[in-house]
Amino acid sequence: MLDISRATLCLGITLAATQALADENTTWRLFVADHAQPLVQAIDATTGKTLDRFEIKSPARLYSSESGSTVFAVQRDADVVSVISSGISLSDHGDHGDITIEGPRLLSSEIAGKKPVHFFDRKGEIAIFLDGEGAARIVTEKSMIEGTPDIREVTAPSPHHGFAAAFGDHVLVTEPHRDKPADELPIGLRVLDEAGATVGELHECPDLHGAAASGNLVAVACSSGLLIVRSGAQGPSFNFLPYGKDLPEGKSTTLVGGKGLQYFLGNYRPDAVVLVEPESEQPFRLIELPTRRVHFAVDPIRPKFAYVFTEDGKLSRVDVVAGKIAGTLQLTDPYSMDGHWNDPRPRIAVAGDKIAVTDPLKGVIHLVDAATFARSGEIAVEGKPYNVVAVGGSGEAH
Ligand code: ZN
Ligand code: ZN
């Protein structure tokens, strides 16, 4: 209802207004979490200006929603997930897109629960898995923005390091290890219906860790291959894609999903990434890196590219069509992968025409021009800028 009336209103204004009133606008914002402080800063990616600072409860891992309207700050050590309105909303008006720009703000809606870790957004339904409870809280982004969270919960048999994903009327949830649920990774995925009852069999996925969506597919990483989930009229369907014989010994434990092109990019051994195209004759292509991998991200705007940051301080551009590295750029001092997994190290986000890479030990964000793949500036950020997400886009503001 709301969407229709807004569209009608917008159409009315468009017809009544002169061309000059329709303003093409492009805005990108970076949301940066500090490594040590319970702080998220919102920064204009074009001007480098800090728009706002949000005090939260513990250092956070950040996730932007699919729509870009919100940023979720998952605070494992504070047992809470805070939600920040990005201040940018994009809507489709058929022949053109609209952008509405407001200030970013911390929403009153939050999700509380023991040890929240994994976040999964599927078409505006966001599932937060609480390792300490062995349960997931699922909310619609819309209800969080409106301040009336419509939280529903699904539970697994015991606390474990798991994940859940909303799938229409169904929910996918990890099945914990039978003997050592708290120490071992989950053994598979279960489908639950609206009443929380199991539908069908357990879908086996030993040492399950890592999941991503790309187009209409969700891929889940297991020790022996990927479980590919498709949505259908009868609920989700599954097929297992074993790692190919031409791949060396290894497995993926983190996946990101392509935007615009259907593919997944996963880690695979410390010094390589694997490109996965589930529909292809040769679904896995290994891409070796010069040194160990620190972080990787897909380019949502230029679907052909993804980026990998390695411990030698270099950013590599991966051509996902050719399955090759196409350009490498020295960006920071080395960041060794020896030491704790959670030591401050660079993270990547793509903000429109710029690739942003945090450099926590220098207190800056490096910007790389996405078209030329050359350095284009840096933004000084107080503290240790660590996890980063970018939100933005273009549209008309009538
Ligand atoms: Zn419009
Ligand atoms: Zn994890």
Q: Which ligand is nearest to the CA of 24?
A: 1
Q: Are 25 and 99 in contact (CB under 8 A)?
A: yes
* 21 phi/psi in degrees, rounded to 5: -75, -25
Q: How far is CA 153 from CA 27, 123, 129, 226, in A?
A: 35, 18, 10, 26
What percentage of the chain carries pLDDT values higher than 90?
88
Q: Smallest Cα–Cα separation from 60: which of 42, 33, 86?
A: 33
Distance 210 CA to ligand 2 centre (A): 7
Question: Which residue in the block uniquely carries the two structure tokens 């004759």?
Answer: 281
Paired with 52 in beta bridges are 42
Instruction: Give the pair of three-digit tokens for residue 51.
Output: 């728009």
β-pairing, 217-221 vs 225-230, is antiparallel
Q: Are 325 and 316 in contact (CB under 8 A)?
A: yes
pLDDT tens-place string over residues 222-256: 999 999 999 888 889 999 999 988 899 999 999 99
Q: How far is CA 240 from CA 86, 157, 251, in A?
A: 37, 24, 14
Provide the residue type at 292 as one letter. R
Q: With bands split at pLDDT 50, 70 and 90, how would you rate the model's confidence at 275?
A: very high
Going by the DSSP 8-state scheme, the letter that residue 177 receives in this structure is P
Q: Are 190 and 172 in contact (CB under 8 A)?
A: yes
pTM (two decimals): 0.93
Distance 209 CA to ligand 2 centre (A): 6
Average pLDDT in the 292-301 region?
A: 97
Distance 211 CA to ligand 2 centre (A): 10
Distance 191 CA to ligand 2 centre (A): 20
Q: Are 306 and 320 in contact (CB under 8 A)?
A: yes
Q: Are 318 and 324 in contact (CB under 8 A)?
A: yes
Distance 254 CA to ligand 2 centre (A): 8
Whether residue 9 has pLDDT greater than 90: no
Whether residue 83 has pLDDT greater than 50: yes
pLDDT tens-place string over residues 355-382: 999 999 999 999 999 999 999 999 999 9
Length reported for the chain: 398
Provide the residue type at 334 as one letter. P
Q: Smallest Cα–Cα separation from 301: which of 336, 227, 353, 257?
A: 353
Instruction: Give the pair of three-digit tokens for residue 19.
Output: 């061309």
Distance 10 CA to ligand 1 centre (A): 5
